[in-house]
Amino acid sequence: MKIIKRNGSEEVFDRSKITAAISKANEQSEPDVRMTKLQIDRITESVVIACEELGRSPGVEEVQDMVEHQIMAHGAFEVAKAYITYRYTRQLVRQSNTTDDKILSLIECSNEEAKQENSNKNPIVNSTQRDYMAGEVSRDITNRILLPKDIVDAHNEGIIHFHDSDYYAQHMHNCDLVNLDDMLQNGTVITGTLIERPHSFSTACNIATQIIAQVASNQYGGQSISLTHLAPFVQVSREKLYRDVLDEADSVGITLDEATARKMAENRLLEEIRRGVQTIQYQVVTLLTTNGQAPFVTVYMYLNEAENEQEKKDLALIIREVLVQRIEGVKNEQGVWVTPAFPKLIYVLEEDNINKDGEYFYLTELAAKCTAKRMVPDYISEKKMLELKGDVYPCMGCRSFLTPDRFTDAGVGNIANAKNYVPGKHKYYGRFNQGVVTINLPDVALSSGGNEDKFWKIFDERLDLCYRALMCRHKRLLGTLSDVAPILWQYGAIARLKKGEPIDKLLFNGYSTISLGFAGLYECVKYMTGKSHTDPDAKPFALRVMQHMNDACKKWKAETNIDFSLYGTPLESTTYKFAKCLQRRFGIIEGVTDKGYITNSYHVHVTEKIDAFTKLRFESEFQALSPGGAISYVEVPDMQNNTEAVLQVMRFIYDNIIYAELNTKSDYCQKCGWDGEISIVEEDGKLIWKCPKCGNTDQNTMNVARRTCGYIGTQYWNQGRTQEIRERVLHL
């Protein structure tokens, strides 16, 4: 069994240290109240057993809490007092060098928490270490100086989660919907160099990847681009290639009729589209931004976004090539085709591609094949999104959605000074999210002791805490000058403001959003009602909880003219943190705190047996109440030989839910060539990944891809998330 130290490093669990610590506290007590050696041994044994039953590596603080509880349970209150005093004294000493210790453990690659904080960041490489080191300094300044103490304390205790505190010291925001159309059509500037409108599709793709990298280096969340913004350049290349064919024929004395010349140009065009799409795919997966990872970018594919029929047909050519290349995958270092994490793909299901007699159904068949093999694309239903939001537009990354455009109808106008602004037309590209604070719903329930009146009172107190934390996020951005990130604020990705101009006007009137996140609805309802929220008797309470949070966002929005919106948080490392905090505060409660994770947002618990269609239908009600962002999924086996079933699920998504995905597995063992599922097994109290064929446990010689929070992760996960992945049941 292993133990996680305070600086995040991991070492072998040593029970003798528990005995020694209790013995020291015992010796500091008066002789007549001291415990016997047998009592000390019993306490040690009880703590060891409790740690083993966790099913994961415990933290030092957790072990000390258990020791303290056991000493008190034995009635040795004076010994407990001495033990608590010793802990407090050591805490005061540590406060002076906690940041230093964490940074040093990062450099030496011994910080297990950092290694597993982000499933797409490799903590060994220098660029990631520099980002983490800067993050620790930023987090330290944030906690000591920039945030109110009660918000810091609530974050540390797992009552709320103040997302991305390692970026808070800088004036940075979360997610973007990049206005690629404006930047390509009207020019942009990258690191002081003017980039004019491209004269070919391949050049447009190249510029797009540079924009993606620049944007990713100036914010900390996800970003999305639309393939529709690249589609006009297909026609630009078509005409250029047609002229080239005629010029080449003329240079050798050949006269070509128009039909022949057009056909030859079209063949060359398909090759250029292939190369352009390949540029996007390979540059995105090979780029390292300043935060030490590939850009968290989503590529959006929506046929009805095209301006005219020719552009729609050209967009279809691009979409087809994107799907074909993603089905193929990318080669790992051994030359084997594997599943890349990025770019994430979203495919919109619409009337002319969802039905078998539709003109573009062939693309949907390709999408199904791609999903079965590579876990993407994910799917947005045009039908349901129009019904519930009134417009169809992509999320800003993995799931954060803008609120429907209200500033256009309110007559606010072109406050971003975009060059592609169309008066009266709703605007989504160029908008962004200010940040996220998440409420721990199980903690609200457990703090109430199951008393419903007390629950709602505590709930309101916690929501007020979240509101104040979110306003800290908002106020941190107020006064930010456009000069801090020219690519975003001056050169079109978000706006075209003047140099030295504050971004303040973009923070109000619904141009940007700010997100109240939530997590653990299942555990919250389970504790308050004794049942899963899928139970008809418990579901009304779950919906009341969701509505209560929406009502709070509506109230804050009316008071501030800031678009607060409820967001189904994609917990990654935080799922483990929240679970540990709940166990520390409330102990192990069956069905509520007995896991190393809590459930993402409103999702059905991963262990609950439910079929795909029932799950999607059930979660659609909760997704509609998460307007700031949400995604639902179904867990499926290998579907490569059953794409007809994938198509059935896609059809169901189209009719029932805005946004959903299918989760399968895509693994490869570099030592033996195994391309089936890599297993999760427990060894020495720790969950590890193991090849079922050769027994390989070296994560550096495996390619494992799992969906954990909207994005595909490929760099492994902490113990809580790993347990959650292991316990998932299939829905098909």
For the chain, first and last CA: distance in Å? Answer: 35
Structure letter (DSSP) for residue 393:
-
Residues facing residue 550 across a β-bridge: none
Ramachandran assignment for 601, one of left (phi > 0), alpha (psi -120 to 50 degrees), beta (any other): left
Catalytic residue among 433, 532, 632, 663: 433
Which entry of 78, 113, 382, 572 is annotated as an active-site residue?
Answer: 572
Is 517 tagged catalytic?
no
Which pair of tokens denotes residue 296?
A: 């968290």
Q: In the block, which residue shows the tokens 């970026």?
A: 167
Beta-bridge partners for 85: none
Whether the link from the prior residue into 377 is cis, omega within 30° of 0, is yes
Q: Which of 567, 576, 602, 711 is catalytic?
A: 567
Copy the structure tokens of residue 722: 């790993």
Choice among 9, 118, 165, 174 that is catalytic: 174
Residue-wise burial string across 398-422, b where 16 or more C-beta atoms lie within 10 A, e elsewhere = bbbbbbbbebbeeebebbbbbebbe
| C-alpha–C-alpha distance, residues 666 and 703, integer Å | 8
* Alpha carbons 333 and 628: distance in angstroms, whole number: 39
CA distance 46 to 42: 6
Cβ distance 69 to 75 under 8 Å? no
Question: Is 560 exposed, middle or buried, given 0-12, 13-18 or 19+ CB atoms closer than 10 A?
Answer: middle
Task: Please state, in angstroms and rounded to a whole number, the distance separating the CA atoms of residues 196 and 199.
Answer: 9
Residue 23 pairs in a beta bridge with none
Q: Is 639 a catalytic residue?
A: no
Strand partners, 682: 687
Catalytic option among 396, 553, 639, 702: 396
Please count the other Cβ atoms lying within 10 Å of the Cβ belonging to residue 284. 23
Pairing of strands 433-440, 513-519: parallel
Alpha-carbon span 72 to 500, nearest angstrom:
61
Q: Contact at 8 Å (CB) between 291 and 220?
A: yes
On whether the CB atoms of residues 140 and 99 are closer than 8 A, the answer is yes
How are beta strands 513-519 and 563-568 bridged, if at all? parallel
Query: Is residue 1 within 8 Å of 62, Cβ to Cβ?
Result: no
Instruction: Choose, from 520, 710, 713, 720, the residue flagged as catalytic.
Output: 710
The yes-or-no answer on residue 222 being catalytic is no
Among residues 133, 175, 370, 549, the one annotated as catalytic is 175
- Whether 710 sits among the annotated catalytic residues: the reply is yes
Distance CA 317, CA 231 (A): 9
For residues 341 and 296, the answer to whether their CB atoms sit within 8 Å is no
User: Has 396 been annotated as catalytic?
Assistant: yes
State how beta strands 666-669 and 702-707 pair. Answer: antiparallel
The kind and range of the H/E element at 388 are: helix 382-389
CB-based contact 289:217 (threshold 8 Å): yes
Q: Which residues lie below 8 Å from residue 578, measured CB to CB, with a gap of 6+?
A: 158, 161, 440, 442, 443, 519, 520, 571, 598
What torsion do the CA atoms of 595, 596, 599, 605 make, to the nearest 10 degrees? -40
Q: Which of 398, 375, 378, 330 is nearest to 666 (CA)?
A: 375
Count of C-beta atoms within a 10 Å radius of residue 530: 12
Backbone φ and ψ for 257, nearest 5 degrees, come out as: -75, 160
The span from the CA of 300 to the CA of 379, in Å, is 10
Q: Are 385 and 614 in contact (CB under 8 A)?
A: no
Beta strands 433-440 and 160-162 are antiparallel
Known catalytic residues are 174-175, 396, 398, 400, 433, 567, 572, 710
